[in-house]
Structure 1
């Protein structure tokens, strides 16, 4: 906190500065100068007049089923005391932002979490028009979604090239913080290629100190030319407010995702068939390299596109389609944006020799099975395991309302990790564990950041 004398020094300095400014240019009564000594004062107003009509406010509403009391959310408690499932509908509302990217077709880019579970999506334009929107497609892995409105005279923002951004470039964030209405904040690019934050599955964020707050999600991050360079997505703050660390999805990434979302309603990611890790300084030393960046291949799936291209464990991937690979997360992002059937050029380093190979991205292989085929107790659940999913466990892809699986408390998105305290990595393990006949079944599952145990008799 400033002392009283320090406060007066600051105020005095501001007043002196204003006096010098006002004394150097003639003023009309009640007016501020637009120029000093013939030079126009710098302002973002002209650019923002062209840009802000392309950013919209989004309000959503819907409902989800919740237990009557928080304690009844615990399936183990409910089963132990033989309490039936009692649920009620809870209304949910969300506020966010969006960016018009195609005025002719009414396409608007936003975040998946802004419109997730929404039954009604209302878009308010800069001119005050309120329009009903429909969801075109969404990708939870990157938190990108496309919605559509039917309207004339929409204003679309031009897409900029986020690949040429540099740390220190000036940027402006436009959105609807705290539901206040359209608000503009400015700052700089603080960092590029941020990943490993645990916010989403695919991360390659632009970090900025332009103020981003709740409600800014889905809004625009633009450069000083008014071009869209990012979609504001997240903040890093325990209290939920702005502390100068905000993150945006690069525009070049959203451009690739948007094309698939409009065409398919989802992102159909290709599969290369490798596992990799960061090329650390220690590994650089072990390989006899100096300051090399890239991703080290740790495993190649048999019969995969990577094996067909001749990749081996120990290879270092340094480029994907001519783009230098920073680390394993960057490699995953570059491959994850490729379409099935698309050819990709990979530059790999092996025994000190660099070579470029070609691979054709294949469709992700996934196994699905009805839970009832494994156990009558899992009736109504659909279990899934993707080949590229390296995390242990089996994912609950669907739960039919009112089914046995629903009554025991399983939810879509749960990851089953153990059956009767036996670890399961895939559907085969799940089947073996359930094949052992027993009077009861204890499931350990992961739901978000929590681990839950469900007892079924």
Structure 2
């Protein structure tokens, strides 16, 4: 009896646990179902947004349909930034600055006149000589004043019958000669009326060997405003004979017709007037290249100012012929110095003769300034004017003398 009661109790407890578990499961399931439905309804009520892509998943590109993206209004369309202007080199800027002031100088030669070999030599019929021909030479020049003054070489205008210039734009105008200086191979001509440009004379004394320079001119007369580029090869060059002294040497290409054109620096300033080029052969058989020479702007400024003011330039006169002594000349002639001026002839009755200077004397100084490389006797005398008295230090037969000379006026 007791055993039956015990089994009945156990059975009742098991049934009770099972029924409780079933009721709890049903209750928990109902609650879970209710919560899930609430979440679904809440999500459905909110606007849909794309779910972020986990970092661990590869990104995919979603291309929306055209109807998904509103078209931008004109105000919303971005304006492209303006393109940056192309940069130009200093050479281009300098050429653009000076080119309008560069001209071709045309020299119609007088009958029987011999033009410089550095000019072109082309026949052209003249209106007043139908079927006839004359010789014309061409060089270059540069406008240095808004009044129409043009600087060129003396050899460009030598033997002229008439002069004219051709401007940067190809227009032509008659020109008149203001004055010429054969010693420095410079001349000034003038045109009337407006000019297309004016160049600035720079400071040639500030030039350094190796500095970039630009030559502009009209080689052969046909190639107007041709530009060549080089460097300053050397300064204070002297070529002897009747050539100007203190020249700028450059390897910028210079050809016949370039004479009188400007040599400019990278700031677009005229630092020289191209005057000649060496073409012959040296010690070898190969032709010489890259040996062009220009009159420095420091000399060109002084000469042009005097020519414009007076129509001519007056130089001091010593009345001697001399040779500049260098190491080679000193060695060949067994001279006691390696620099100076060896007097080869003295003009009778001239300033030097009156002061007691003799042939064979060696002048070593002018007013205490030593004659040497880049400082010839002529260059030092050009610092004075007629009527000035200078003291020459002279070496004669091993004896040093001081002679006072009153300079005369150089004959035309």
TM-score normalized by the length of structure 2: 0.61
2:180 is aligned, of 134, 138, 145, to: 138
Distance 1:242 1:155, change over 3 A: farther
8 Å CA contact 1:278, 1:327 repeated in 2: no
In 2, the alpha carbon distance for the partners of 1:319 and 1:196 equals: 21
Partner of residue 96, structure 2 = 49
After TM superposition, give the deviation of residue 90 of structure 1 in Å.
4.9
After TM superposition, give the deviation of residue 214 of structure 1 in Å.
1.9
After TM superposition, give the deviation of residue 118 of structure 1 in Å.
2.7
In 2, the alpha carbon distance for the partners of 1:187 and 1:358 equals: 44
1:92 is aligned, of 121, 135, 140, to: 135
Partner of residue 194, structure 2 = 152
Q: Which has the higher contact order (CA 8 A, sep 6+)?
A: 2
Q: Secondary structure at the match of 2:252?
A: coil
Partner of residue 191, structure 1 = 234
Structure with the higher fraction of residues in strand conformation: 1
Number of residue pairs aligned between Structure 1 and Structure 2: 306
8 Å CA contact 1:106, 1:154 repeated in 2: no
TM-score normalized by the length of structure 1: 0.55
In 1, the alpha carbon distance for the partners of 2:366 and 2:408 equals: 16
Partner of residue 203, structure 2 = 161
Greater shift, 335-344 or 221-230, is seen at: 335-344
Partner of residue 388, structure 1 = none
8 Å CA contact 1:342, 1:360 repeated in 2: yes
8 Å CA contact 1:278, 1:328 repeated in 2: no
In 1, the alpha carbon distance for the partners of 2:347 and 2:210 equals: 41
8 Å CA contact 1:55, 1:220 repeated in 2: yes
After TM superposition, give the deviation of residue 213 of structure 1 in Å.
1.4
Q: Deviations over 1:43-64 (max 9, x none)?
A: 3222222222222222232442
Structure 1 segments unaligned to the other structure (5+ residues): 1-30, 36-40, 67-87, 367-457
8 Å CA contact 1:218, 1:233 repeated in 2: yes
Partner of residue 293, structure 2 = 247
In 1, the alpha carbon distance for the partners of 2:364 and 2:145 equals: 35
Partner of residue 210, structure 1 = 252
Partner of residue 433, structure 1 = none
Q: Secondary structure at the match of 2:199?
A: coil
Larger Rg: 2
In 1, the alpha carbon distance for the partners of 2:109 and 2:350 equals: 42
8 Å CA contact 2:236, 2:374 repeated in 1: no
Q: Does 1:171 align with 2:213?
A: yes
Distance 1:365 1:211, change over 3 A: closer
After TM superposition, give the deviation of residue 351 of structure 1 in Å.
9.0
8 Å CA contact 1:112, 1:140 repeated in 2: yes
8 Å CA contact 2:94, 2:265 repeated in 1: no
Q: Deviations over 1:30-77 (max 9, x none)?
A: x99957xxxxx74322222222222222223244249xxxxxxxxxxx
Q: Secondary structure at the match of 1:237?
A: coil
Structure 2 segments unaligned to the other structure (5+ residues): 1-82, 114-130, 282-286
Q: Does 1:64 align with 2:106?
A: no
Q: Deviations over 1:302-341 (max 9, x none)?
A: 6543466675666543444676533699323443575422
